[in-house]
Structure 1
Amino acid sequence: MSDRIFLSSPHMGGSERRYVEQAFTDNYIAPVGPHIPAFEQEFEAAIGRGHCVAVASGTAALHLALRLAGVGPGDEVLCSDLTFIASASPILYQGARPIFVDADPATWNMDLEALEAHLAARRRAGRPMPRALMLVHLYGQPCDMDAVGAICAEYGLTLVEDAAESLGALHAGRQTGTFAPTAVFSFNGNKIITCGGGGMFVAQDKDVADKARFLATQARDAAPHYQHSELGYNYRMSNLLAAVGRGQLEVLAARVEAKRALFAGYRERLGAEPWIEFMPEVPTGRANRWLTCAQLGHDAESGYRLREAVRLALEAENIESRPVWKPMHMQPVFADAPFVGSGADETLFARGLCLPSDTKMTEADLDRVCDVVRRTGREQAR
């Protein structure tokens, strides 16, 4: 059987081993060490603004962001519906209640018209506003942050940016994750750069970043003994993971260009097929194309059949693909959560497929994937 083509696997750049060996040489095999502050400072320089705290995961960073936004038991938090569960689960960690907002088919990001209509209706009814807005830059597609900022200002929402998938993506020339008071990035193994795990909490206010760092280290008070005046978490990144992250950060620009080139390659090879429609790019920004995503078929029913036929055909050829995120309001764990919108993201889920977007793919690999997709699509379309 041919070699496995992965959806998006780690791609080392060369310096990671040197940084990790330095950690071994210095014996900083611990959740402390010089690579952690170095990674934080280098990440700050890479994104252009904000104060960074390296943590154990993107989920941990989101939890910290919600806590520092003042979200607590009984509060409501608006959240993108078409996303990974990590965007929503920290809302429950804080005892709050998510309200999921539909996706806009034109961008796949949150439907801002549906969001504003919901908030306007609440205002007219004299209902209190939600505490916060959890906004996701889906698959590296930057949201229109000018419009989002205006909505948050109008209705008094605290914004948290989930930029877990969008490192290297820009809105109006500016890195996502730098528009809100707090934001997060992920370095999971499949992300555009990876530490094998880990995340980054970003705050525009240094005091907020310092508080996040304090909470992430078990909220240990400044005392010679172990003293804790409030509840914290074991959320700090290890020195070894930070060492890997430093090396990965050096090749970020190259990875973004490789992802975008893969997307262009798919569109060149498959874009003329009438049964495939690739995820668009917003006119207000530049996506990092973390994953190349497409809708198959022409409606939810036919699209689902075609999506599954293509996915299974790819797997039979040892090629990894996966459906797009299942909307949160369709997840059993959130069965009772309110949903705002028409259900457009249900169709995106039914038709949507993430194609292999591994930056180690060759032109021959891309041809191999596209041959299977084309053959299967044409057979199903007969």
Structure 2
Amino acid sequence: MESTRVKDRIFLSSPHMSDEGYEMQYVQEAFDTNWIAPLGENVDGFERELAAKVGSKAAAALSSGTAAIHLALIAAGVGAGDIVFCPTLTFSATANPIIYQNAVPVFIDSNLETWNMCPEALEHAFAKYPEVKAVIIVHLYGLSADMDKIMEICNMHQVVVIEDAAESLGTYYKGQHTGTFGDYGIFSFNGNKIITTSGGGMLVSDQEERIEKARFWATQSRDQARHYQHSELGFNYRMSNIVAGIGRGQLKVLDQRVEKKRYIYDYYKRELGGLEGVQFMPENDWDHSNHWLSAIILTDKVRAGDVMTALEQVNIESRPVWKPMHMQPFFEKYDYVGENVAEVLFESGVCLPSDTKMTDEDLERVVDIIKGLWSNS
């Protein structure tokens, strides 16, 4: 008889609350004290605790990672007509705030060594657009970009650097948290991230006065006055005290979540690494990845679509690698610098289920389906 377990959905990456109930303790405190609005001890505490965790001097808790990127661009002085370099291999949330500012994105290719922004392509982009105002770096799927090379190039050109670490909370580059190398770093707590607040983000920086300014912008730029007065354009971007309470509880189990994500990656690599034509996302000596998602690329007769279809048929979720921004209908009119490495990763890549609630039985189930494709090909 077929096990009912086979019918259970295995998710790509779903919310995982702590077994200890840390989140509910903070949420209950917010209810008990009636601090429900976008201010309160949970917001202040989450900012302090996240900043301390990653080693930044200041943090602003916001409604989303996208809002954090938007405010980072404003803090960087990016405005209409300014050029901003952005990786092409990313989610649209990285690029959209550039458009919010009526600025002009230029998309930069990846390399196979990191799957992230290619330093050589970045140098070519600077040669073509020396007037660039800011560079956004992404740490894709928890893999650190080659920060030494990239920061050397950016510093030479004296350009503002924004790190999109939405997927890489808990990842280290040479012992330092991603998101803390540039002028600004952003994290996301969307439902599928390594820790979640259901939705939300954080902007971090060692420039404490700019973070304070970001908080001001995020609360509708309300001036210090008895009446409602606004001298600057504001946004409704602050995180609620309830959401921040969930974040404080989740932060307590971040290290556990990283450990499990890395376990999942190691399991897949051990079981699938010997299959012909399977290459895993890269690991470098300087990168200690949180392995938010475990991803592979396929270079043989079994294609990415075959793997995703086979998994979906047995109720297992997987995803393609991000479709590059320069291939997206909305963004294809903007310039792209590179040699189509990102396109290859997109066309041949699969993100495997990496849910931290997965059991070894779940992992075995995924692996057996994939191995079966090779046995039958």
CA offset digits 1:357-380 (Å, max 9, x no partner): 00000000000011111112443x
- Tell me the CA shift for residue 203 of structure 1: 1.5
- Tell me the CA shift for residue 56 of structure 1: 0.1
Corresponding residue number in structure 1 for 2:11: 6
CA offset digits 1:193-241 (Å, max 9, x no partner): 0000000001211100000000000000011211100101000000000
CA offset digits 1:270-318 (Å, max 9, x no partner): 11101211101122221110000000234xxx56xx1111101111101
Query: Could you tell which deviates more after superposition, 148-157 or 285-294?
Result: 148-157
Q: 1:23 aligned to 30, 37, 54, which one? A: 30
Corresponding residue number in structure 2 for 1:181: 183
Corresponding residue number in structure 2 for 1:111: 118
Corresponding residue number in structure 2 for 1:340: 337
Give distance in 2, aligned partners of 1:347 and 1:147: 23
Give distance in 2, aligned partners of 1:377 and 1:192: 31
SS of match in other structure, 1:334: coil
2:220 pairs with 1:218: yes
Amino acid at match of 1:312: T
CA offset digits 1:96-126 (Å, max 9, x no partner): 0000000101210011111112323x3xxxx
SS of match in other structure, 1:350: helix
Give distance in 1, aligned partners of 2:124 and 2:327: 22
Corresponding residue number in structure 1 for 2:69: 62
CA offset digits 1:313-368 (Å, max 9, x no partner): 11110100000100000000002000000111101000000000000000000000
For structure 2, the residue ranges without an aligned partner over 5 or more in a row are 1-5
Give distance in 1, aligned partners of 2:276 and 2:85: 36
Query: Could you tell which deviates more after superposition, 349-358 or 139-148?
Result: 139-148
Give distance in 2, aligned partners of 1:181 and 1:320: 36
Contact between 2:88 and 2:110, CA under 8 Å: does it hold in 1? yes
Give distance in 1, aligned partners of 2:374 and 2:131: 46
**Percent of pairs with identical residues:** 52
- Tell me the CA shift for residue 50 of structure 1: 2.7
Normalised TM-score (structure 2): 0.96
Contact between 2:273 and 2:279, CA under 8 Å: does it hold in 1? yes
Give distance in 2, aligned partners of 1:132 and 1:40: 25
Corresponding residue number in structure 1 for 2:229: 227
Give distance in 2, aligned partners of 1:377 and 1:197: 39
- Tell me the CA shift for residue 158 of structure 1: 1.1
Give distance in 1, aligned partners of 2:131 and 2:374: 46
For structure 1, the residue ranges without an aligned partner over 5 or more in a row are none
Give distance in 2, aligned partners of 1:50 and 1:86: 25
Q: 1:315 aligned to 312, 337, 342, which one? A: 312
Give distance in 2, aligned partners of 1:378 and 1:69: 54
Q: How many residues align?
A: 370
In the TM superposition, 1:180-199 aligns within 5 A as 180-199=182-201
Aligned residues: CA RMSD: 1.1
Give distance in 2, aligned partners of 1:92 and 1:286: 33
- Tell me the CA shift for residue 49 of structure 1: 2.1
- Tell me the CA shift for residue 140 of structure 1: 0.6
